[in-house]
Structure 1
């Protein structure tokens, strides 16, 4: 399905989802075992909050992984910071992503509104998009967190950090997924416009987070490790070459590396927000104009092979710290999201109805024509965050860990459970 068929593809996708969601779920017996879900609190970042299509908005939040778990175990009052309409992106004036099907230009819609900011207690889902690990025990306002407006929307100027806010609920179960933003912010900008948290500092910060939780609550902590972000569509979708229309051969692009144009290779990654640039370069190639150094893609939109290796080494070190916390009984169960995301890239995920979904979001044929894979992808249009189906798989990974470690028998999330 090519770019000009996007509107038809969306119709087909909508019908497919509606059909899937019309299935009747089985009446499986639910046992939470040793887990007491009286007060379930989820801590983390955008992946916990339920960000999708580049924004936090209600239609995606309803299928955040914590919300799916809460519905599965019948928690009646699980509250999230609901963002109505198009919600909010990482800039407070913008909402969810929209892609122009003709030019493939990426833009953000207008921001939405906060729907339940007057809730007279802390939210159960305290995932704060863009938050770093140290900010969880330091930041009480957005100013304390690199002007992150989500801190103010979710903590609502209560004068507490997100950990302190969580403790006001007296949690009985905690899920924790932190560390992604400590490396992701740098990686999505080509390792040239932001710094990452050194692994030794991350280890100390993680220990501080766990110390607060372990000393001030008896709630079991189910924690996830960090996926290899270089394997999500933001990094893997755009090739480092365009196609020659004469013979479909690869014509490699130039990218800015260390301040100078460099011919890219298959081991260099062109980042997702370079899609309009790539589309323009392919169009020029189709009209006989070869890409040269003068058309080099910005350094912030290229992750070269050396930088890819650096990102992966940092993530491996972060995950060693998380594994060490498990070994030291500072967390009670580990969710291996890193392995899960690697498996999704290789073999995808098959649901109960036989449908298989993969991490591929877009692709290109031998003429350089863009192919959209919205009907089978697990990721949203930002290339970084899952769609509702992807979040269902994340929820199932947490449920598997709960079942394996707490004598629970919680059924997996099915497509029919999505709203």
Structure 2
């Protein structure tokens, strides 16, 4: 019997710092460990060669330090840094388009963690390995070795490796839910995690542009839907209803299901709020390196307060749909309100800039855990952008370098939240106190040894924010 299966997007898969790499420290993997399961045998997880897909910022910076040293001077910024970054990117492209990463994996079974970064709700029952291969071929074009190009269709390459790692012919039409069905048929499933919805709105803060899906009569084709980065509320409700109905048709009636809500994507440090502040929202939201001292709404890409409020309202509608749909199911279906957790941990929105440790202190105090291991760290972690000074963490810690996805300890907090509800639901061996926080902290590389060049990156971006904003526009 499979004690735990997880289906979702990047948050479920364990995406960090721009890449899927450390799948062994995703929040479902942390839950599995706390339940006494062994990885990768009792809880099967995919592995990704090299530094993962698409671009591991942390590994790139660590490698470039070996070439540049701990500081980057002006001449190195102009000449050596772009060349080294290009070399790092080219090696990833070679690995996943022509090397080991492009070949079938040795493992031919079905993974217990079926998360795929970038997936939206509808992708869970529409994207297949066949679809992935066609998407990869279409995006590849006639130039195989692109200059300064990451592996084409990286999300679909990731999905292919998760859904059908050995490229078995009979599995080329299997979606995430078909993989779930195979586990049910072979092993059965005691507990299922479902966490989707972030990618139905995340593109708004990544693009700093709102492409709203206003029409409700839209295609289910994954690529065609990517022209919108904010899913229509009714479409989301319809997609999530379909997801739940399809899952119900697969799992036994006694399987316990745990469903996460969608976090407000406007809170993570991928965007920086620029005053004036009205008590909840800033007037402008720029990139992670934006500063009020040199921010120009005319020259720098940004979202204004009204659009941020529109995004938050849409997320609220998504979460209302999730709660309403789950409420209609049996007592074995449960909601984990991850949105409320992130709201509670917000620093700027909660006006805690003068005391950034306070949100996490209050969060654990409300749970009777005033001596939690994370509160013994110095400084106490927060969801602010990771800042490094003289090689040591100065601020942040709960989010990775992409400023969107949690760090390893951040995923530990997510695991605690799911375990708390699982314990209340009567699942054995799911007391959150069973989490080995010393182990999680020890495996958080950003916490233990932050990459020294991150300090240089942030400093250069803040001092030349208009130039960096132009570079980001070219990249995206």
TM-score normalized by structure 2? 0.63
Unaligned runs of 5+ in 2: 65-70, 140-152, 212-226, 348-358, 365-371, 444-476
Q: 1:352 aligns with which of 370, 373, 376?
A: 373
Deviations 1:44-103 (A, max 9, x none): 00000000001001xx322100111111112232111111331112xxxx4445458658
Alignment partner of 1:340 is 2:341: yes
Offset of residue 144 of structure 1: 6.5
Tell me by how many angstroms 1:371 deviates.
Answer: 12
Equivalent residues of 1:68, 1:392 under 8 A apart? yes
Map residues 375-386 of structure 1 onto 2, 5 A cutoff.
Answer: 376-386=396-406
Pick from 64, 82, 100 the counterpart of residue 26 of structure 2. Answer: 64
2:259 to 220, 223, 245: 223
1:270-281 mapped onto 2 (5 Å cutoff): 270-272=286-288, 275=289, 278=290
Contact 1:348–1:359 (8 Å) recurs in 2: no
* Inter-partner Cα distance in structure 1 for 2:411 and 2:119: 19
Q: Is the 8 A contact 2:285 2:303 kept in 1?
A: yes
State how 1:256-405 maps to structure 2 within 5 Å: 266-272=282-288, 275=289, 278=290, 296-298=299-301, 302-329=302-329, 332-346=333-347, 347-348=359-360, 351-352=372-373, 354-355=375-376, 356-362=380-386, 373=393, 376-405=396-425
Deviation at 1:353, TM superposition (A): 6.1
Matched, 1:75 2:97: no
For 1:201-225, what per-residue CA distance to the aligned partner results, in whole angstroms no more than 9, with x for missing partners? 1111111111111112122210100
* CA-CA distance at 1:167 after TM superposition: 1.4
Q: Output the CA distance in 2 between the equivalents of 1:372 and 1:191.
A: 34
Q: CA deviation at 1:306?
A: 1.5
Of the three residues 240, 243, 246, the one matched with 1:206 is 240
Q: CA deviation at 1:186?
A: 2.9
Cα-Cα RMSD: 3.4
Give the number of the structure whose residues are more often strand, by fraction. Answer: 1
Task: Pick the aligned partner of 2:207 from 164, 172, 189.
Answer: 189
Aligned to 1:42, what secondary structure does the other structure show? strand
Match of 1:173 in 2: 191
Work out whether residues 40 and 174 of structure 1, in 8 Å CA contact, stay in contact via their aligned partners in 2: yes
Q: Distance in 2 between matches of 1:370 and 1:308?
A: 35
Map Cα deviations across residues 359-402 of structure 1 (whole Å, 9 max, x no partner).
012579xxxx9998566510000000001000000000000010
In 2, the alpha carbon distance for the partners of 1:324 and 1:292 equals 42
Counterparts in 2 of 1:179 and 1:144: CA distance versus 1, 3 Å: farther
8 Å Cα contact 2:258/2:333 also seen in 1: yes
Whichever structure has more helix as a proportion of its residues is 2
| Bigger relative CO (Cα 8 Å, ≥ 6 apart) | 1
Distance 2:431 2:303 in 1: 40
Equivalent residues of 1:269, 1:305 under 8 A apart: yes
1:140-181, Cα deviation, whole Å (9 max, x unpaired): 032469953222121125220111112111122110100110
| Distance change >3 Å, CA 267–CA 407, structure 1 → 2 | same
Pairing of 1:144-155 with structure 2 (within 5 A) = 147=153, 148-149=155-156, 150-155=158-163
Q: How many equivalent pairs are there?
A: 334
Counterpart-to-counterpart distance in 2, 1:353 and 1:184: 27
Gaps (5+ residues) in structure 1? 1-36, 242-249, 251-264, 286-290
Please state how far the C-alpha of 1:190 moved relative to its aligned partner: 1.7
Q: In 1, distance between residues paired with 2:117 and 2:296?
A: 38
How high is the TM-score relative to the length of structure 1? Answer: 0.71
Residue 122 of structure 2 is matched in structure 1 by 134
Q: Is the 8 A contact 1:65 1:391 kept in 2?
A: yes
Greater mean deviation of Cα atoms: 68-77 or 317-326: 68-77
Once residues 428 and 304 of structure 2 are traced to their aligned partners in structure 1, the CA distance between those partners, rounded to angstroms, is 45
CA shift in 2, pair 1:313/1:192, >3 Å: closer
